[in-house]
Amino acid sequence: MSWRPLFFASLALASAVAVACADSDERAPTTETQEGGAPPTLADAARDDDGGMSKNAGVLRVAHLADGLGAVDFCYQARGTGNLVGPVLGRASGDAGTPTDAGDAGEVPDAEAGDASDDGATSPEAGSPGVPYLAVSRYVTVSATGTLALSFVRPGSGSCADPVASGAVTIDPGKLVTAVLMGRVEADGGAPGDAGAGTDGGSPDGELRVTAFVDNRETVRDKARVRLVHAALGTTTQPPRGALAARAVSGRTTELASAIPPGQASRSSTEIPVDSLGYATVTPVPPPTAIEISQADDAGTAAWLSPFTDLGLSGGSLHTGFISSDGPTGLALLWCDDTSTSVTLGACKLLR
């Protein structure tokens, strides 16, 4: 079933407003997904005069897999503009409303605009949410598409002036995007000023990078859909991993990916049905289930096995697994249910 008809039908009902750290009165709408798989709903400010999606609206979430960086919020800047918008998550925190079965996006309170270079920018409320390490944010709607510069800042800072990492992503109108911050902080405790960008994994192993992955929330009634992202780029104590392979282990073994290059999603394949976005479509796997991850070239490296648990690999399910260089055995898996996300953070469990 596709969520696209419901997504566009809901445009006329949604209402949410966020903040722009800009000198103009333009504001960036924010919204969030709700339980039950409702996709993010664009606010009125993200619609054009005909009631359709604005060409200048995009939807993204942030996955934090950068070792040693601490919790982050983010600001964004559209190409060709001089204004940074944000911090997005803190300024959209407030009372986000109560999710309902109908997928009501709730309301996000207004916040004042300020220039990113102004240390006196309006501070978010105390306890403003950020994205901790090994977690995924809610989806938010931003009033820009195309190439966006992202600046990651400390939660609660109220300013975009002192980023701890930065990079760039590309967002197309009507697409949902996960921006993954991955890599590690330098050994001296400092983070590189430019985290790099793109989906080609071109940054040196271990360096901080920001990579955008297009999300497809379509589900198949009698199949499970799984995408895996290789963010095991090393820590101060763990070396980076090369290309990986993954499978689900239960009463039988189900192949999920034959090759996951560093910094990328599963490589498309016909042998294992993996599409161009990295999603494998497989027969449901009954619990208890574990995910086994090994080197793609089978170079004698022992496979890593997650704990056996209910991973929700039923018909109609949709998951993204972020592979990290963490945990007592050198790997960890952040397993996210992409059909059901909570108000504050994505519905993910950490498997070590």
pLDDT value at 59 more than 70: yes
d(CA 244, CA 225): 18
Contact 40, 58 (CB under 8 A): no
Q: Which domains does the chain have, with CATH numbers?
A: 1-215 (no CATH), 224-351 (2.60.40)
3-state secondary structure of 5: helix
At 50, list the tokens.
């005909």
Question: Which pair of structure tokens corresponds to residue 162?
Answer: 């002192």
Instruction: State the chain's mean pLDDT as an integer.
Output: 75
pLDDT tens for 283-294 read: 999 999 999 999
Full 3-state SS string of 228-290: EEEECCCCCCCCCCCCEEEEEECCCEEEEEEEECCCCECCCECCCCECCCCEEEECCCCCCEE
Q: Is the pLDDT of residue 46 over 60?
A: no
Question: pLDDT at position 24, please?
Answer: 35
pLDDT value at residue 300: 54
pLDDT of residue 94: 40
**Bridge partner list, 215:** 176
**Least confident interval from 34-48, 98-112, 120-134:** 98-112
Better-scored residue on pLDDT, 29 or 9: 9
**pLDDT grade, residue 236 (50/70/90)?**
confident
Statement: residue 280 has pLDDT above 90: yes
Asked whether the predicted pLDDT for residue 138 surpasses 70, the reply is: yes
pLDDT tens column, 327-340:
677 899 999 999 86
pLDDT at 309 over 90: yes
pLDDT surpasses 90 at 169: yes
Using 50, 70 and 90 to split pLDDT, how confident is the model at 123?
very low
Query: What is the per-residue pLDDT for 191?
Result: 47
Q: Mean pLDDT highest for which of 145-149, 192-196, 206-210? A: 145-149
In the predicted structure, residue 217 carries a pLDDT above the cut 80: yes
Mean pLDDT lowest among 104-108, 201-205, 303-307, 342-346? 104-108
